[in-house]
Amino acid sequence: MALLAWVAITFVGAKVLLPGERTLDEIVTEGIAWQIVLAGAILVGVILWRRWRDIGFRAPEPGTLKLLWLPMLMVLLQFSWALLFGLPATTVILLVLLNTFFVGFSEETMFRGLLYRAVRGHVRIWPAILLVSAAFGSVHVLNGFITGEFAGAAMQATMAACSGLLLMAIFLRTGSLWVAIIYHALWDAATFLLSLGASAHNTGAETAATTGGLATFILPLVMVLPNLLYALWLLRHVHREVPPGDQMPG
C-alpha cells in the first residue's frame, strides 16, 4: 500500500502540478518538485505512525565508507565533465541539488528502506535484492507519462535498475540509508548538470536537444556499467553472511 501511495503521489502529483509534457531537466530546474517532497513526507509519516525504528536511518558502520571509492569516482567524473561544458546559473544549480536530494530521500526511503524490509521478510536476500532493484527500475517507466518520451523512459528504467543494485549494495554494506540517499542525490545532480551543460554548450535547438538526450541517457548508461560490476562484487558474499543493512529488527 505504501508503494502504491508513493507512486500515485509522485507521478500523478507531477501531472497535476505540471500539466502538459515536461522534460526531467525542466522539472528539476523550474522550481521545487513538491510532489517529491510530499511523497517523502508521507513515507516519514507512515514510518512514525507504524513506529518502524530500523529502516536504516543511522550512521554507517565504521570503515565502510571507503567502499564508495569507485562510485564516488564516477560521480566526480560526471561533475568534471559538467564543468567542462559549463555550469548553469547558481539558482539553477541550487534547485538541482535541492530537488535531487528530495528524490534521493524519497526513493531510497521507499525502495531500499520500506520495500526491501517488506520483501526481505518473505524471501532470501538475493531474491529480495533483485526484486527491489527491478521494482525501482520499473517505476521509472512511468516518467514517460510526464515527459511523453517512453523510449527514453525505458532506457532510464534500465539505468535505474542498474543503479538500484549499486544503491542496494551501498545500503547493505554500510548499514546506513543516509549514505545511499546522499550518493543517490549526488549521482542524479551530476547527471542533470552534465545534461544541462551539454545542452547549453551546443548551438541550435535540434542539436542541443539531441546532445542533451545523449547526455541524459546514453552517457549514464555507459557510466553506470562500472558501478553495476562493482555492485555485484560488493554483493558477492551477502548470502553467506549478514551485512549491516540486512540486520532485521527484532
Nearest to 109 by CA among 17, 37, 60: 37
pTM: predicted TM-score of the whole model, two decimal places: 0.92
- State the number of CA atoms in the 13 A half-sphere of 41 facing the CB: 7
- What is the spatial distance between Cα 20 and Cα 32, in angstroms, rounded to a whole number? 17
pLDDT of 201: 73
Q: Given this model, what pLDDT does residue 175 score?
A: 97
* Predicted pLDDT of residue 188: 97
Residues 44 and 177: their CA atoms lie apart, in Å, by: 13
- Rounded CA gap, 114 and 106, in Å? 11
**Do 238 and 125 touch, CB atoms closer than 8 A?**
yes
- Picking from 194, 169, 214, the residue whose alpha carbon sits closest to that of residue 71 is 169
- Helix (H) or strand (E) holding 179, with range, is helix 177-201
Q: What is the CA radius of gyration of the chain?
A: 18
Cell numbers for 70, please give them. Answer: 569507485
> Cell match 552534465: residue?
194
Tell me, what's the pLDDT at 138? 97
pLDDT of 206 reads 47
Q: How deeply is 116 buried, as exposed, middle or buried, from its count of CB atoms within 10 A (0-12, 13-18, 19+)?
A: buried
User: Under the phi-then-psi rule, with left for phi > 0, alpha for psi from -120 to 50, and beta for the rest, what region is 20?
Assistant: left
Find the helix packing angle between 150-174 and 219-234, rounded to 10°. Answer: 30
Per-residue pLDDT 10s for the chain (250 aa) are: 789 999 999 999 999 998 889 999 999 999 999 999 999 999 999 999 999 988 999 999 999 999 999 999 999 999 999 999 999 999 999 999 999 999 999 999 999 999 999 999 999 999 999 999 999 999 999 999 999 999 889 988 999 999 999 999 999 999 999 999 999 999 999 999 998 998 877 644 444 444 444 555 566 677 789 999 999 999 999 999 999 999 765 4
Write the DSSP string, 93-150: HHHHHHHHHHHHHHHHIIIIIIIHHHHHTTS-HHHHHHHHHHHHHHHGGGHHHHHS-H
Residue with cell 554507517: 60
CA 216 – CA 116 distance, rounded (Å): 28
Q: Which residue has the cell 502540478?
A: 17
Look at residue 212 in the predicted model and tell me its pLDDT: 47
Q: Give the 3-state secondary structure of residue 110.
A: helix
